[in-house]
Every structure is written in C-alpha cells, then in structure tokens.
A and B are shown apart, each in its own frame.
Chain A
C-alpha cells in the first residue's frame, strides 16, 4: 500500500510565502514514493473551532461543523505523514494553518491521562501520522529564538496529537535553492536528489 502524506499549507493571502517550499516538499516526497495530498488552506473554507466539545460528547470523533474541516481531520488519521507548512508567525503557526490544526481535536478522546508528568488526552485511534513541520521565515535570516520556539511548539503538538515522532525545521525565504532542498529533504527524511 502507498504511503500517504498530507501537506497542510498555511501560506496566507496569495500563497507567495510558501508556494515554492510546498512544491519542493511535494517533489521530494513524490520522488521517495509518497502519495501526497497538498491542501492550500487559504483556498479552503474551514470555520474556526468554537470550542463546544461536540466532537467529543455529542458526535464522537466528528466535528459538529459540517465543512472541509471534517475532511482534513479524516485525512490526518488516514495518513502516515502529516506535514505542516507555515510562514513563521511569531515563532508559531499562521492563522491559515491553525484553522485546520484546531479542527483536528475530534481525532483524540476527551479522556485525560498522565504523560511524562502532564495531563494530556487519550488516543482515539491506534495509529497517528508522524508530524513534520516546516516554517518559512518571510524576511531576513532565521532568528534562532523563533526557530527554537517553533521546534518546541511542534514537539508539544506531537504530544497532544499523539504523533509517534516529530521533526521541525525553519528555512528562510532568502535561502538559496540548494540549501532549502537539503534542509527540507533532511526533515522529511528523504533523498535530496540531484538538486542538492
């Protein structure tokens, strides 16, 4: 069976911030044998989560909002690899990426358990995808503080969304193609191919 990758592209406005990086990630994954679904979230209407917990206590496992957010949640669980792509936004995710991430909570159970000395939610499914996140610093060099914060956020998300493993990297929009290709290939754990 093909390995499935879901790329959630949180580029804002016209998508200029992430378009090249998304294309590169799709190319690299495809060359490695992954079947990739690339969702440009700016083009998809997804209502914000309104924190009703209906997906836990009313329609367990399914968001009460009937829109594309449900499709994203389904695809997430059925993937082997989940890739977040986002313009680095105060060291975190853009609002475009976050509108989808917020709608993934049906995929965990409401019940609590202790994990490494903290309360977190129990798994709903047996398997979850590995999480990889790529942040694109829109201008200038990457600020090390932003980079460290982004990596922390991704690893925290991996705990809460029960990813078996996670990795993150930040690239600068100004990085040359070979550098970007190499960094993205490394975080995706695929071969960089002839471009590196």
Chain B
C-alpha cells in the first residue's frame, strides 16, 4: 500500500502561480506630497486590493470545485452502489423501479452458485486469466525487445505489417476461428482452450507500450555487458528484465484482466454450451430478454463477485497501470 502513495504525488505542485508575484514590496519611501509618491501609494493600495480579492476568489473557486468533485464522485460511484444494493434484493428478481431492497438477504448469491453455471464460468475465466497473462507477457516482451534493441532487415516491414493488420476489425475473423477451433474440438464445452489459443497466439501485436519502455532504457548498459562478453540472451534476462519490472507487471495485469471482460469471443466460441462461457459471456447471457426477469438480481450478485477481486487487484497494482497507460499515451 505504501507504494501506492507514490503514484500520484502531485499535491506539491499546482497550476496556480505563486502569489508572491503580487507581494513585491515597494521600496519604502517617506510619504510626501510629491506626485510620484502619491502614485506609488495608490499603486500599493490597489495591489493589496487585488491580492485580497484574488484570495477570496480563489476560495470561492475551490469551494465550487470541491462541490463539483463530490457530485462527480457520487455520479461515478452510484451505479456500483446500485449493483451492490440490488444484489441483496430478495422480494423480486427482475428490474425494479427503486434502489433500496425491501427485503434484504443472500438469496441471489445462493442462486448464482446453485442455479447457474457461475462456478464453471468463474473457474474458466480464472484459468484463462492466468495462462493468458503468462503467455501474453512472454510474447509481448519478446517482440518488444527484439523490435526495440535489434536492427535487422525486415524490421520496419514487420512493424508496418502488424500496424496494417491491426487496423482490421478483429470480429471479422470470428467465423473462421470458430470453424477452425471446432475442427480441433476446442469450442463449446472446451471453449476455454480455444479462447486461450486465440487470445495468446497473436498477442505479440500489442508490443507498443513495452517497446516504448525498452526504448527508454539506455543502450550503454547493453554495450557494457557486451564488452564483458554477455550474449544477447543474457543481456535480455539479466539486464533488461530486472529493469522492466513496471512494464512486466503492467503487461501481466492487462493479460489477466482481458478474459474477464471479453464476451464477444467467449459467447461465439462456446456457442450454446453455457458451461463453456466465461464470466462475461455468462453474466451477459443472464440479461438476455428471455432470462432477464428471472435473473436480473442474480446478474447483480455475479457482478459483485467478479468486480470485487478484480478491483482490489487493480487498485493494488494501480501504480503500474498508470505508468503503462501514461507511457503508452505519450508515446502514441
């Protein structure tokens, strides 16, 4: 938790210019009736006046901003409070026009685990998350390192190729991937394995952020190691890897969280075998028109069960996420 405090130490700096600009003391001159002195006196007074009004103005602005922030945070958090409250509603299972349950209880959580395939979904997603996180991280680091540190023939071509094919919408390939995976018996109840293959196989394309990070590590380290006779493999895992902890954790975090949110691929791959879903596909399925009236509150309970661990994990690793996202945005 102490690390988290480092994330955003912005408090010290502020956009406001220091007020000392207005505090420049005029050289004290004896009050006289020369026009110059009079003018000086007047200026001093007016400076003081602006200073005062500036301060009150600042206070008012700050108060307004505080109010705005409170309202904003309320708006941002309201849906999540809503989900939690509705997940405890026992008197009805469909949509209701009110937020506070009339009868509280854990019925929905019990139903979630007993009546739906939620345990399967959760397990599927957990397995996917772990495997995808590992393989994707390895792939991304490999590609990013090669493209960042090695200059070889075809490097530009490879990067352009990935850029161009990254511009096609991924859904285009749904039908082919399904047919393909179906041939290998990796769909429906086994959708888990097909999905892992799909998520990981081309994950090397997401190398941008990691490459941007490697680019910032000084080349003199590599050169020093090469002088000492290290092979490139040794440089990779003995020098670059230990320095890249933030980006490694960021990549792992992203890889792990991916399968929790994807419902398109998961729905498509599992087709109609509901036990093969991941949490996203499963919970979304609970809200289809025919299921909604009976399972709406169960969906809320499922949302809470899924969101809680993910959010905690995310907040713990927040620092790395911020680093990755900011680095990626600035590098473009």
Partners in one complex: no
Please list the residues of chain A having a beta carbon within 8 angstroms of any beta carbon in chain B: none
